[in-house]
Amino acid sequence: MQDELISNKKKRLTSFRIIIFSFAGLILAGTLLLLLPVSVKDGSASSFSDALFTATSAVCVTGLVVCDTATHWSVFGQSVILVLIQIGGLGVVLVAISFALFSGKRITLMQRSTMQEAIGAPKVGGIVRLTRLILKGTVLIELAGTLLLLPVFCREYGLSGIRMALFHSISAFCNAGFDLTGSVSAPYVSLSAYAGEPLLNATILGLIVIGGVGFLTWEDVCVHRFHFKRYRLQSKLVLVTTAVLIVLPAAYFFFFEFRELPLESRIWNALFLAITPRTAGFSTVDAASMSGASRSVLITLMLIGGSPGSTAGGMKTATAAVLLISAVSVFRKREDPECFGRRIEGAVVKRAAAILTSYLVLFMIGALVISGVEGIAMSDCLFETASAIGTVGLTTGITPQLGAISRGVLILLMFWGRTGGLTLIYAAISGNSVLGISKLPKESITLG
């Protein structure tokens, strides 16, 4: 009887639930560590609200903060945040199973299935090999980023620049957006002091893009090199969509913002604004000072986010691409969406529509609640909720002043954005649905 109960519990603990519980457990552990007096520079314990918000933002690689990371948290506290970013960026399940992998333990089929869901791989086969590629690639890329950032930070901070370079390399690759550049007199400045620094800009942007394109795209690039035709359809969509979402917004920002800046600075600022909203959160300009049209572009980019199976959050580039391709197929009166010589399944289009709907609904409801509770302009609240659910970290500056209810809203949005809306839904309803043998009658509905 007892064996049967244990077996039933294992069955109910699906891969989706394991992912949710893992992220929640890591947030709780991070919160408890940040509550310790040793985590704060002045030795006084942080409030539970500050610790919970910071831990959630770090695990969900968002970058929204209620306390300036450089001036409020001690070296220990910053180290805790960095570990949370690294684990949250790669995925809690992936990191946990990697320890078993390198210790020589056998990876069970359930563990492989969970890894598949965490990474977004199309099949279980080859998942262990892909995991090794991800871990090795992460170490090499973050180390390269650290070495490239050393000259910039060591020039200003001396030996402390080594820690600064490592922190910002991991934060950028994991699309987290946390920084250590604030000061008592100028907190929450992000990378605005380095707006005209070519080496730092190029390195940070490169790390953001590499971390945001997804692990499966890495594999295609490593295996097939420049043979684009051999890539998976997903990798093709990710790379093309990513390129479009960099070029078009950068061109817009170049022509309609920063007109008073020199040409080189104007180019770097335009590129930075096009890339960082998906979903890194570093900033070289004050978002609050931008025009309403530019902030609308930023909101759109934040909601789209990075790519499936990456360190980034948001709806994902593949979701946006599938919906656009589906719309084009309807305009052309095609039965099925088609792209790169392949047909996209109707179930994929339905999931994409469900993801879009959930993000838009929560993004709007969250903004309405915050605006109503805090009495803040709706435009600022929309920017903040888009940043939270897209796990971006850009802000107009209102986050540190928010009350408990509004912080709670942003925490829930960050958790939703990082774990993925469908993962939460599947975790909630898994095992409860029953497949019926009959279908209800159809009836037509007029659209448009």
Q: What is the pLDDT of residues 248-303, one digit of tens each?
A: 999 999 999 888 888 888 999 999 999 999 878 898 888 888 888 999 999 999 99
Query: First CA to last CA across the chain, in angstroms?
Result: 57
Residue 352 domain boundaries = 13-427
**Model confidence at 118, in pLDDT bands (50, 70, 90)?**
low
**Residue 169 within any structural domain of the chain:** yes
CB-based contacts of 26, cutoff 8 Å, min separation 6: 59, 84, 87, 88, 92
Does 100 fall in a domain? yes
Confidence of residue 101 (pLDDT cuts 50, 70, 90): low
Contact of 391 with 314, CB cutoff 8 Å: yes
Q: What global pTM score does this model have? A: 0.88
* Joined tokens for residue 205: 């942007």
SS (H, E, C) 201-236: HHHHHHHHHHHHCCHHHHHHHHHHCCCHHHCCHHHH
Nearest-angstrom CA–CA distance, 26 and 56? 9
**What is the chain's mean pLDDT, rounded?**
86
Judged against a pLDDT cut of 60, whether residue 243 lies above it is answered with: yes
Beta strands in 240-374, from DSSP E residues, in sequence order: 338-339, 342-343
The total of structural domains in the chain comes to: 1
User: Is residue 336 within 8 Å of residue 344, measured between CB atoms?
Assistant: yes
pLDDT (0 to 100) of residue 341: 87
Say how far apart CA 120 and CA 97 lie, in whole Å.
15
The answer to whether 397 and 5 are in contact (CB under 8 A) is no
CA distance 121 to 63: 26
Instruction: Compute the average pLDDT of residues 127-143.
Output: 85
pLDDT band of residue 41 (cuts 50, 70, 90) is very high
Q: Are 236 and 259 in contact (CB under 8 A)?
A: no
d(CA 71, CA 12) in angstroms, rounded, equals 44
Amino acid at the residue 313: G
The answer to whether residue 279 sits within a structural domain is yes
| Residue 407, CB-side half-sphere exposure with 13 Å CA sphere | 20
Burial 177-196 (b: 16+ CB within 10 A, else e): bbbbbbeeeebbbbbeebbe
Question: What does the pLDDT look like over 304-313, one tens digit per residue?
Answer: 988 887 888 8
- 347 belongs to a structural domain: yes
Q: Indicate the range of 25-29, 164-168, 342-346 predicted with least confidence.
A: 342-346
Beta bridge partners of 146: none
- CA distances to 211, 346, 431 from 435, rounded to whole Å, are 39, 19, 11
Nearest-angstrom CA–CA distance, 323 and 352: 7
Tokens, residue 9: 């519990």
What are 153-205's pLDDT values in tens digits?
Answer: 999 999 999 999 999 999 999 999 899 998 877 888 889 889 878 999 999 99
Residue 393 belongs to some domain of the structure = yes
> Are 362 and 373 in contact, with CB atoms under 8 Å apart?
no
In 3D space, the residue among 382, 420, 414, 387 whose CA is nearest the CA of residue 52 turns out to be 414
Residue with tokens 């061109």: 251
Helices 160-173 and 75-90, axial angle in degrees (round to 10) = 30
Res. 4: pLDDT tops 50: no
In the chain, what are the helix, strand and coil shares in percent, each to the nearest 5?
65, 0, 30
Q: Is 182 left (phi over 0), alpha (psi -120 to 50) or beta?
A: beta
**Residue 443 is assigned to a structural domain of this protein:** no
The total number of residues shown for the chain amounts to: 448
pLDDT for res 258: 85
Ordered alpha helix ranges (H), 73-119? 75-90, 92-102, 109-119
pLDDT at 445 over 80: no
- 104 — pLDDT class (breaks 50, 70, 90): low
Q: CA-to-CA distance for 380 and 395, rounded, in angstroms?
A: 8
User: 2 lies in a domain?
Assistant: no
The sign of the CA dihedral 267, 273, 278, 282 is positive
Domain membership flag for residue 8:
no
Task: Please state, for a pLDDT cut of 70, what percent of the chain lies above it.
Answer: 85
CB atoms within 10 A of CB 297: 20
Over range 231-238, report the average pLDDT. 91
Give the distance from CA 408 to its chain's centroid: 19
